[in-house]
Amino acid sequence: MRINILGVGFDNVTLDQAVAEGMRLMHTVGAHYVVTPNPEIVEVCREDQEAMETINGADLVLADGIGVIYGAKLLGTPLKERVPGIEFAQALMERMAQGGEGLFLLGARPGVAEQAAQRLQSRYPGLRIVGTHDGYFQEDGPVVEAIRSAAPAVVFVCLGAPKQEKWMRKNGPATGAGLLVGLGGCLDVFSGEVQRAPEAFQKLGLEWLHRLLKNPSRIGRMMKLPLFLLHVLGERGCRR
Ligand code: UDP
């Protein structure tokens, strides 16, 4: 059963359990997709019914942000642990490098996915990256066709939320891939263009602060975090 936080149902899994489930889904007939919402996305879902349906319709909903963990705790239904999308992706690539499953990278500015592919291939020896495409295209058809002909088992879809989730739901089956994972800005990190927060920030749950300091223009988006906590407190009042 999923844990409901302001209408979004989160799977109560550890990182290891999430990766095991990802591997299972990848080898199960049909297209499956994984989403990694943070508090900002939960707030977007509250105002965008299609986004809410798309997120809840995913095969795996992972708690990406520390705010989600606090929210679950405040509501009296704690989640086992935070499962950041980037860590899920890294653990999945380790397993895929052993199993030989193909990976396609979709998203980010032109050139970034190719650069990410090069770095990932040297970081995960044996990882088979079968194709890349940037995230600034007008029509889905040619992109779907490029993925289909590369025949990956998995596609990392990095178009920002909720665009990437809607894209996966609409186009997933036509790509022929078994698993699509929405990963926001991960290709920027994998390519080396953007640094992930130092470990100390990660451990303290302050990764959001690091992103804000590096990129102050995110302040508008980040204001959704206190709003999220206010809504959680309101919800807690209603549930009591
Ligand atoms: N992006 C894209 N196509 C678009 C809009 C965004 O490929 O039409 C990419 C953008 O270049 C960036 C990623 O999507 O690499 C979104 O990154 P952001 O850090 O905003 O995502 P978050 O992880 O916060 O969802």
- The per-residue pLDDT for range 59-70, each reduced to its tens digit, is 999 999 899 999
Percent of the chain having pLDDT more than 90? 83
Residue nearest to atom 11 of ligand 1 (CA): 108
The mean-pLDDT minimum among 66-70, 75-79, 199-203 falls in 199-203
> Is residue 94's pLDDT more than 90?
yes
Give the residue, 184 or 239, on which the prediction is more confident: 184
> Is residue 240's pLDDT more than 80?
no
The mean-pLDDT minimum among 32-41, 73-82, 207-216 falls in 207-216
The mean-pLDDT minimum among 12-21, 66-75, 136-145, 219-228 falls in 219-228
Work out which ligand 1 atom sits closest to the CA atom of 221.
24
pLDDT tens-place string over residues 113-160: 999 999 999 999 999 999 999 999 999 999 999 999 999 999 999 999
How far apart (Å, rounded) are the C-alpha atoms in residues 168 and 134?
Answer: 15
pLDDT tens-place string over residues 81-91: 999 999 999 99
Measured from CB, residues less than 6 Å from any atom of ligand 1 are 107-109, 135-136, 158-161, 184-185, 187-188
Q: What is the pTM of this model?
A: 0.95
> Is residue 192's pLDDT more than 80?
yes
67 neighbors 5 (Cβ within 8 angstroms):
no
Nearest to 3 by CA among 51, 86, 70, 50: 70
- Over range 39-62, report the average pLDDT: 97
What is the predicted pLDDT for the residue at 99? 95
Give distance in angstroms: CA of 157 to centre of ligand 1: 10
Residue nearest to atom 18 of ligand 1 (CA): 185
What is the predicted pLDDT for the residue at 67? 93
The secondary structure of 74-129 as a DSSP string is HTT---S----HHHHHHHHHHHHHHHT-EEEEEESSTTHHHHHHHHHHHHSTT-EE
How far apart (Å, rounded) are the C-alpha atoms in residues 49 and 32?
Answer: 21
Within 10 A of 201 (CB to CB), how many other CB atoms are there? Answer: 16
What is the predicted pLDDT for the residue at 162? 97
- Over range 106-110, report the average pLDDT: 98
- Over range 104-113, report the average pLDDT: 98
How far apart (Å, rounded) are the C-alpha atoms in residues 232 and 68?
Answer: 10
The mean-pLDDT minimum among 13-17, 25-29, 218-222 falls in 218-222
Give distance in angstroms: CA of 71 to centre of ligand 1: 25
Across all residues in the chain, what is the average pLDDT? 95
> Is residue 174's pLDDT more than 90?
yes
- Which residues pair with residue 154 across a beta bridge? 103, 179
